[in-house]
Amino acid sequence: MRTLRLYHAPMKHITEQQRSILQTLWNVNVNKGKDTRLSLRAFAKQHALPYETLRRELNRAMEGEISFDKNKGEWFYPEYRAEKAQQNANEKNAQKGTGQRITNQHAKAFQHHVLILKKSPEHARHDMVREGHKNVPCLSTFYNHIEHGDIGVLRGQTPYHPSEKRKRRQPVQKAKKCPGNLSIEDRPAQAEDRTEFGHWEADTVVSCVGGKGGLLVLIERKTRLLFIVRLGAITAQAVRKAIRRLVKSGALKNVRSITTDNGCEFLDSQALAKLFKNISEDLKIYYTHAYAAWEKGSVENVNRHIRRFYPKGTDFQRVTKSDIIATQDFINSIPRNKTLKGRTAHEAFCAAA
């Protein structure tokens, strides 16, 4: 006859099969004589069970209570019923609430993507699905757990997080326009509603106080394709030189218009338009209103992504070109569920080109 053995892993619940084995072993033990019968603690040790686990399990379905008979001078151990114990366990399990949707594996992968790779929660979840993680919760579930701080990522540790209360948008302030330059109000409808490829937005990101230069940022409105170029100085000449290199390299092939602000580095619209004469004869430069950064929202949004890697106080002269290219490629690989239906900027650009 095969000897029955109990194998119980620590921190695991006893299964129905183990309860059946326990019933056989325990009932045989309690029916033995006084000299051969094992005590509760000795039985647990012999079968490699934690004493408290065995005690709680037996109390679930014993036919009576453990007691000491003073007349016989021995302990009385009732028999154990596996069916009763399983029924009791099922009833308690039915009273449990909904289990946590985020597993330890989900939390560990999420921490790696957000804290180490500096991805947004949406980007992190998207890549977790691509990597093959099963039953990945929705984005709102991750944000709820971030608010409670129980998955190792706190609110302030995410690249950006919706604010508790949005600031009221200030009205557009009137300012003097540069004579001869076109206003954003003159921009065609195709550029406004993003239905036509080739309409770009431009801006600059400056270095810290005492630092030199900065970044030229160009983004295509329809596909959100991004180009970042390091500048030696925030001047009109440096900006034109950087754009000339992009045009010459073939990166900027289709440019119908550029929307920018009223910074001194962009004010010479005629000089900027001449840079694109070989690829676009009808290119026009449009300028936003003063103090109205939201009118070129695409480039302002991507500036926020850039600041995740280079916060204010960064001297861009100390940042290598390879690091800037890596940042550019990273931002172009972010999946955009709302604007591009889950595609990245690079995928959208390849589809539109």
* Bigger pLDDT: 173 vs 111: 111
Is the pLDDT at 302 greater than 90, yes or no?
Answer: yes
Give every CB contact of residue 284 below 8 A, 6+ residues apart in sequence. Answer: 182, 257, 258, 269, 273
Q: What is the band of 55 on the pLDDT scale with cuts at 50, 70, 90?
A: confident
pLDDT band at 299 (very low <50, low <70, confident <90, very high): very high
The fourth-level CATH superfamily of domain 182-352 is: Ribonuclease H-like superfamily/Ribonuclease H (3.30.420.10)
Look at residue 339 in the predicted model and tell me its pLDDT.
Answer: 87
Residue 204 is inside which H or E element, if any? strand 199-206
Domain with CATH 1.10.10 in the chain: 16-94
Whether the per-residue pLDDT at 48 is higher than 90: the answer is no
Encode pLDDT of 96-118 as tens digits. 776 778 888 999 999 999 999 88
- Read off the pLDDT of residues 184-222 as tens digits, 9 standing for 90 and up: 998 989 889 999 999 999 999 999 988 888 999 999 999
Question: What pLDDT is attached to residue 334?
Answer: 92
And the tokens for 282?
């009808």
pLDDT of residue 241: 94
pLDDT(332) > 90: yes
Over range 149-156, report the average pLDDT: 87
Q: Give 325's pLDDT tier (boundaries 50, 70, 90).
A: very high
Q: In terms of pTM, does the model score above 0.85?
A: no
List pLDDT tens digits, range 225-260: 999 999 999 999 999 999 999 998 888 888 999 999
Spatial distance between the Cα atoms of 26 and 15, rounded to a whole number of angstroms:
16
Domain at 16-94: CATH architecture: Orthogonal Bundle (1.10)
- Contacts of 130-135 with CB under 8 Å at 24 or more apart are 133/105, 133/106, 133/109, 135/101, 135/103
Distance of alpha carbon 224 from alpha carbon 218, whole angstroms = 9
Give phi and psi for 159, each to the nearest 5. -55, -40
Q: In what order do the strands lie in the sheet with 257-260?
A: 182-183, 284-287, 257-260, 199-206, 214-220, 226-231
DSSP classification of residue 113: I
Residue 1 has a pLDDT of: 38
Give percent above pLDDT 70 in the chain. 91
Give per-residue pLDDT as tens, 266-279: 988 889 989 888 77
